[in-house]
Amino acid sequence: MSYTVFARKYRPQTFDEVVGQDHIVKTLKNAIANERLAQAYLFVGPRGTGKTSTARIFAKALNCIHGPTITPCGECDVCKEIERGNSMNVLEFDAASNTQVDKIREIIIDTVKYVPTRGKYKLYIVDEVHMLSTSSFNALLKTLEEPPSHVKFVFATTDVQKVPTTIISRCQRFDLRRISTPEIAQHLQLISGKEGITLAADAAEAVARGAEGGMRDAESMLDQLVSFCGDKIEEADVLSVFGFTSAHTTTALVDHLIAGEAAPALAILHSESEAGKDLSRLMSDLIAHLRNLLVIQCAPGGVNDELSAEAVATLTEQGGRIAQDRLLELIQQFADAEGRMKWAPNKKMHFEIAAIRAIQTLNQATLTDVIDTLASLRSGDEPVAAPRPAAKPVAARPAVPAPPATPAPRPSLVDAVKAELKIKPTPAPPPPVDPEPLPKLAEEPAPPPAAATPAPAPAANPATAEAPTAAQLWPLFMARICKDRPLIRGWVEAGQLVAVDADTATLAFPPEASLALESCERANNRKYLEPLISELAGRPLTLRFEKRAGLVPEKVEIPEVKPAAKVDPLVAFKQDPLIKKALDVFQAEIISA
């Protein structure tokens, strides 16, 4: 009897044997059990994820002598014929070799009218359906939308973008996902147990990572390893046969990058290159490792379904030693280097340059670090910044030279600045002192001074003095307005404070200044003017506005304050003593934009 490869020998024969596609299996089971069968199904997904196998199981479930059933027996003649691929009622063909419209008419359109010879349904399984020509798709539209009741279509594709939307809209679409690394590794252990093969756990995980979510690829790799190693397979055998890089090596490389250790990082690259490993694959693994670190920082449980518990624990510990923005920079840098390596004859050189540049990036202080540090030092607060931690010690491995002793961590950015500037802790501010009350108005009020600074507002004291008059309050009122709200000075000057009663102050305007009156009456201006006149008078007052014929407003002489000379902000910034010291610490210079 001829040898059968693992990918065919262990192809799933029931829904329960399908690995990693529980959402699709559950939907198909419910559709069969509830007799809600569509006329066409479209299976979309990467290679080796179970599209054709699921289609065959679906065909057996519909045509089994006990069916339709969610558990086909696999023993009847119909199930065996479908399993062998020679059933007259299940026509499976490859669209890549039958692209012409004449082939589609011959295989499908002209035969759908015939009822199945055995079983209840006639199924057409079209693999890689996106390879059909536009004419073939158009010829298939009407038959696909309204086929005979005994006909079902199952399409499979790895490139759904090339399938016309008119075809997709006539099908129930199922998206098969990549199978996770733990699920593939577990299935490989199951196959190894049935075959009497000793497969190490780390070897199974290495094969699963190399398969990139494809079960068929993993089974083919296991078949090749058995031919190479016999009945005992270790991780070193997997790495040697397929040129993969150990997960421990990738972790060690990232440890050295985080610690800023260029020599050990380059030693790892040299060792992998001398061992004949694919550096492009190592770069891909490195980017994937950094991506996992980023995902764990953003969503701690985001990779639990993709990686083993031990790998997640290692990533969690390592992710705590590098900031998220730094990870994004490293991913971008290595992704650019990966693009250059595809066409470069010397891939090692580009990898080494990318590694050194990554270490330099991690050692540089960002503009945000500088601004935050200066702001903290200027305010006197203790900045929250910790020195960059040293990398976790990495055990020596046969394929990786032992790294030198871990250097002491660099002093933090805050410590360096504070040491250079010799900044001492800022003393605690003195307790606030209550402001002195405004002086009360004397019995014989003096005339308002001619100085630029207005005199304190007179206060009313019924027991000892009379309330201030409108003539006394008007200069003080205008002086405060010129100081606090110069934009509304013109409007207020157009009127005159004519009366101050027990609870009301009257601001009158001549008829020709109606616009100024309306402007002062606005809510935002009244909100300022009314508290101001109350403060100056020493009691709550309501400000009333009115028009008064024949009124000639009294002009108040208020000294003008000359504006300060304009100073270039960049020049002023450069002259700041703290900035000068910071430039010396960071050995930097300020340039204009």
- Structure confidence at residue 455 as a pLDDT band (50, 70, 90): very low
CA distance 181 to 202: 12
CA distance to 45, 167, 169, 247, 452, per residue, from 161 (Å)? 12, 11, 13, 34, 78
The answer to whether the beta carbons of residues 417 and 383 sit under 8 Å apart is no
- Structure confidence at residue 401 as a pLDDT band (50, 70, 90): very low
Same-domain status, 369 and 475: no
Does residue 421 surpass a pLDDT of 70?
no
At 404 the pLDDT is 46
CA torsion angle 499 500 503 506 (round to 10): 40
Report the CATH number that the domain containing residue 333 is assigned in CATH: 1.20.272.10
Does residue 192 surpass a pLDDT of 80?
yes
At 537 the pLDDT is 87
- pLDDT (mean) for 424-452: 48
- Structure confidence at residue 413 as a pLDDT band (50, 70, 90): low
Same-domain status, 161 and 289: no
At 187 the pLDDT is 94
Task: Tell me, yes or no, whether 443 lies in a domain.
Answer: no
- Structure confidence at residue 443 as a pLDDT band (50, 70, 90): very low
Same-domain status, 193 and 253: no
At 266 the pLDDT is 94
Task: Tell me, yes or no, whether 565 lies in a domain.
Answer: no
pLDDT digits (tens, 9 = 90+) for 383-395: 544 444 444 444 4
Residue 189 is part of which domain span?
A: 181-216+231-242
Same-domain status, 238 and 251: no
Same-domain status, 236 and 258: no
pLDDT digits (tens, 9 = 90+) for 497-515: 888 888 899 999 998 888 8
> Which has the minimum average pLDDT: 108-122, 188-202, 543-557, 574-588?
574-588
Same-domain status, 237 and 386: no
Does residue 406 surpass a pLDDT of 80?
no
At 309 the pLDDT is 81
- pLDDT (mean) for 182-211: 91
Terminal C-alpha separation, the chain: 79
Residue 271: strand, helix, or coil = helix
The answer to whether the beta carbons of residues 365 and 586 sit under 8 Å apart is yes
Task: Tell me, yes or no, whether 191 lies in a domain.
Answer: yes
- Number of domains forming the structure of the chain: 4
pLDDT digits (tens, 9 = 90+) for 217-242: 999 999 999 998 888 999 888 888 88
